[in-house]
Amino acid sequence: MGEHILDELSWRGLIAQSTDLDALRRDCDAGPLTLYAGFDPTAPSLHIGHLTQIITLRRFQRAGHRPLALVGGATGLIGDPKPTAERVLNSREVVSGWVGRLRRQIEPLLDFDGPHAAMMVDNLDWIGALSAIDFLRDIGKHFRINRMLAKEAVSARLNSDTGISYTEFSYQLLQSIDFLELYRRHGCTLQVGGSDQWGNLTAGVDLLHRVEHRSVHALATPLITKADGTKFGKTESGTVWLDPELTSPYAFFQFWINVDDRDVGNYLRVFTDLGRAEIDELERAVAQRPWAREAQRALAEELTSLVHGGDETRRVVLASQALFGRAELRDLDAATLTAAVTEAPTGEAAMRDQPTIIDLLVSAGLADSRGAARRTVREGGAYVNNRKILDEGWSPGSDDLLACGWLVLRRGKRHIGGVRVQ
């Protein structure tokens, strides 16, 4: 028998709060639990912050429990209150489209066959049918305003100039209905979520206790942080999305490759299935050979394979090697090459202008002046498609162009740029 799910979550640092861990352990041991996590369609894609809950559902499923993944077609029409300002309400059509997109992102990450088959659920199925009178009498009666006002986001908004609408204030009640309905429909007795959702999680536990006189569980995972204090899941170009149209698999891979040495051990525990011994070995590699980035590479390959599949990961790894001369650039397909090059500074040129290597280095942002570009060439640091260029007057021919007209430029060993030649 494998390690107990709660012991695994504990050593991976994934338990921030729980209603009663001892009681949860007893219920886990008594037989398969049904649990759920909720995901609101407030954007056209999930981002990497959502992976914590999806992977937590996966871990419970592999331990023999049954996960429900809830995409909130109803709660997504309202939105959890933000501490800063009122959310913009999206149309029903937009939210419905986003529900479908989120479902398609979650489904490959869970197992929908076998005795512990996962299930996708949508809270619009029950909240959409609820009348205002029934909502106020059957649900609202069990909530106390003073406790709702104490919620951090609500409190922050009440003390701001913008205030808070009744619509967003009621979000906690809607989310609580989910736990009640999933208990009634599927015997669900555990909700997992981020620690920033603790008030919403416990509100659902309290509602079930009041209405069904049943003790159920809530388990919160810690918010993922970065050692440098910046927000996890954000880059200079914005949020790291799971949708390959919004964040290319190459950019997704590079996000994990660039993780700080101080963070990589924690991320390996949270996001991968690697065991203690493997992670310990990778952490030793970080301490002894930080330049090799072995832990980051393992993290990037694990997560890219999980979200985008093994074939896409192999293409991304090939692109990463090819940019720095360790694989053939012409073996890259157009989409992968374009995604890889556009993660670096890029410029444009016209073949009719017969641009020289000097022009190209400046256009790609690898030299801030023509003089600096000439020095790079004279010192042997200029490369086009991984070929060293020593002639300041060199110009590309049509046979030098890669897919989509790209030239990959490099200054020295590390600095990459691209020029698209028309």
Place of tokens 């993660």: 343
Q: Please name the amino acid found at residue 257.
A: I
Distance CA 139, CA 124 (A): 16
As a whole number, the mean pLDDT across the chain is 93
pLDDT digits (tens, 9 = 90+) for 105-162: 999 999 999 889 999 999 999 999 999 999 999 999 998 888 888 777 788 888 887 8
With 0-12 / 13-18 / 19 or more C-beta atoms within 10 angstroms meaning exposed / middle / buried, residue 306 is buried
Distance CA 86, CA 324 (A): 46
pLDDT of residue 234: 81
Residues in the chain: 422
Q: Which among 332, 323, 417 is positioned nearest to 376, based on CA atoms? A: 417
Task: Answer positive or negative: Cα dihedral of 95, 99, 104, 105.
Answer: positive
CB proximity list for 14: less than 8 A, separation 6 or greater? 52, 56, 221, 222, 269, 270
pLDDT of residue 343: 87
CB 68 within 8 A of CB 34: yes
pLDDT of residue 161: 77
The torsion defined by the Cα of 104, 99, 217 and 205, in degrees rounded to 10, comes to: -170
Which residues on adjacent β-strands are paired with residue 346?
Answer: 418
Q: Which among 382, 3, 26 is positioned nearest to 189, based on CA atoms? A: 26
Residue 226 CA neighbour count, 13 Å, CB half:
14
Domain range list for the chain: 5-221, 225-325, 344-422
CB proximity list for 69: less than 8 A, separation 6 or greater? 36, 37, 39, 54, 57, 103, 106, 110, 118, 119, 120, 121
Phi-psi region of 16 (alpha: psi -120 to 50; beta: other; left: phi over 0): alpha
Q: % helix / strand / coil in the chain, to the nearest 5?
A: 50, 15, 35
Residue 289 CB neighbours (<10 A): 11
Q: Which among 78, 74, 206 is positioned nearest to 143, based on CA atoms? A: 206
With 0-12 / 13-18 / 19 or more C-beta atoms within 10 angstroms meaning exposed / middle / buried, residue 317 is middle
Q: Which CATH class is domain 344-422?
A: alpha beta
Q: Which among 182, 181, 176 is positioned nearest to 205, based on CA atoms? A: 176
pLDDT of residue 304: 97
Give the chain's largest Cα–Cα span.
82
CB 95 within 8 A of CB 77: yes
With 0-12 / 13-18 / 19 or more C-beta atoms within 10 angstroms meaning exposed / middle / buried, residue 7 is exposed
CB 249 within 8 A of CB 316: yes
CB proximity list for 362: less than 8 A, separation 6 or greater? 347, 368, 369, 370, 373
CB 38 within 8 A of CB 72: yes
Buried b (16+ CB within 10 A) or exposed e, 147-167: ebeebebbeebeeeeeebeee
Homologous superfamily of 225-325 in CATH? Tyrosyl-Transfer RNA Synthetase (1.10.240.10)
**Domain 5-221 shares a fold with domain 344-422:** no
Q: Which CATH class is domain 5-221?
A: alpha beta
pLDDT of residue 55: 97
Total-model pTM: 0.89
Helical residues (DSSP H) of 85-220, grouped into ranges: 92-106, 124-127, 132-134, 145-149, 152-158, 166-169, 171-186, 198-212
Q: Which among 324, 291, 320, 292 is positioned nearest to 411, based on CA atoms? A: 324
Tens-level pLDDT at each residue, the chain (422 residues) = 578 999 999 999 999 999 999 999 999 999 899 999 999 999 999 999 999 999 999 999 999 999 999 999 999 998 888 878 888 889 999 999 999 999 999 999 999 998 899 999 999 999 999 999 999 999 999 988 888 887 777 888 888 878 888 888 888 999 999 999 999 999 999 999 999 999 999 999 999 999 999 999 999 999 999 998 888 988 777 899 999 999 999 999 999 999 999 999 999 999 999 999 999 999 999 999 999 999 999 999 999 999 999 999 999 999 989 988 888 999 999 999 999 998 888 999 998 989 999 999 999 999 999 999 999 999 999 999 999 999 999 999 999 999 999 999 999 888 999 999 98
